[in-house]
Structure formats: structure tokens, C-alpha cells
């Protein structure tokens, strides 16, 4: 069994049994990957972790200062932001479907949709992942309505 090495470790994320996150590859690898199989043969086992956001938090703490953002760290942050604001657009859709008054105007809703699309498009920026320009979030809507 190897000692923990954040630059050469594997994580099983969100119970996915078909792939694991490899810090050496800085991406997911299939569980049939030869390098992963060799690592397992040393008596190692991947660390189980609940989500990509939780994995990102672990990796950010452990990588030395000065390491630039990775594709996975930018995606994890983006996904966390998308999840944080899911309720805004979901609430609007639910209110619209129920034919009740909406807490967002059509313009506000479109602004939120544009913001969310800009987050999804981060990976298309020329500087991705090392030099990403994050979109500015719209004004936070009222929670109660």
C-alpha cells in the first residue's frame, strides 16, 4: 500500500463505479485503465468522496500554492455556482407552469438564463482553464414569494 500522494491518487466520486478521478492524469480514468489497475495491485484503494465539488475542495487544499486552475477545478467551481442558483430558474419555471405570479420578470429570467449559459461556456474561452473570465451574477432575487 502506498502512502497518500496528492499528485498520484484516485478518488471514487459520487459512487460512480465505472471511472475514478486521477490526480496524475488530472481527469477521470476508466476503472479498466492499466495504470489504475497497477496502482490497485499495490494494495491501494480509491478514496470515496461524495461529489466533484467536495473533491475540488480537497485538491485545492492539498496542491501547492501557485498551481494554476485545472480544467476540473474550473468545471467544479462552475458546477457549484450552477447548483447554487438552480432554484432561481426552477422556481420561475414552476411558477409559470402553475400559472401563478412569477417572482422574476421575463427580462430577469432571460438574464439568469444568459448568466447560466455563460457559465457553461467557460470551457470555450481562449484562456481556459488558466485564464477564465467569470461572468457576473445577476442581482440575487428575493427568496420568499
**Backbone φ and ψ of 102, nearest 5°:** -95, 150
Q: Does 20 share its domain with 88?
A: no
Secondary structure letter of residue 16 according to DSSP: -
**18 and 57 housed in the same domain:** yes
Q: How many domains does the chain have?
A: 2
Task: Compute the half-sphere exposure of residue 118: CA atoms within 13 Å on the CB side of its CA.
Answer: 13
pLDDT digits (tens, 9 = 90+) for 73-101: 788 888 888 988 999 999 999 999 999 99
Q: Provide block-wise average pLDDT over 10 residues at a time, the chain (145 residues).
A: 75 92 83 93 91 79 64 82 91 94 93 96 90 89 62
Question: Based on the domain organization, do 73 and 89 belong to the same domain?
Answer: yes
Domain match, 81 and 23 both = no
3-state secondary structure of 120: helix
Residue 37 sits in which domain range? 10-62
42/78 same-domain check: no
How many angstroms separate the first and last alpha carbons of the chain?
A: 55
The answer to whether residue 42 sits within a structural domain is yes
Together in a domain, 51 and 74 = no
Alpha-helical regions (H) of the chain: 34-41, 52-62, 71-97, 106-120
Amino acid at each position: 500500500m502506498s502512502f497518500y500522494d496528492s499528485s498520484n491518487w484516485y478518488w471514487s466520486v459520487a459512487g460512480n463505479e465505472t471511472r475514478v478521478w486521477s490526480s496524475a492524469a488530472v481527469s477521470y480514468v476508466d476503472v479498466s485503465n492499466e495504470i489504475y489497475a497497477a496502482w490497485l495491485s499495490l494494495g491501494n484503494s480509491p478514496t470515496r468522496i461524495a461529489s466533484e465539488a467536495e473533491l475540488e475542495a480537497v485538491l485545492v487544499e492539498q496542491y501547492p500554492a501557485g498551481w494554476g486552475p485545472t480544467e476540473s477545478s474550473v468545471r467544479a467551481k462552475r458546477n457549484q455556482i450552477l447548483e447554487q442558483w438552480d432554484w432561481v430558474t426552477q422556481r420561475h419555471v414552476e411558477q409559470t407552469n402553475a400559472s401563478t405570479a412569477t417572482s422574476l420578470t421575463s427580462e430577469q429570467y432571460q438574464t439568469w438564463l444568459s448568466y447560466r449559459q455563460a457559465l457553461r461556456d467557460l470551457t470555450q474561452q481562449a484562456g481556459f482553464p488558466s485564464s477564465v473570465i467569470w461572468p457576473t451574477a445577476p442581482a440575487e432575487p428575493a427568496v420568499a414569494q
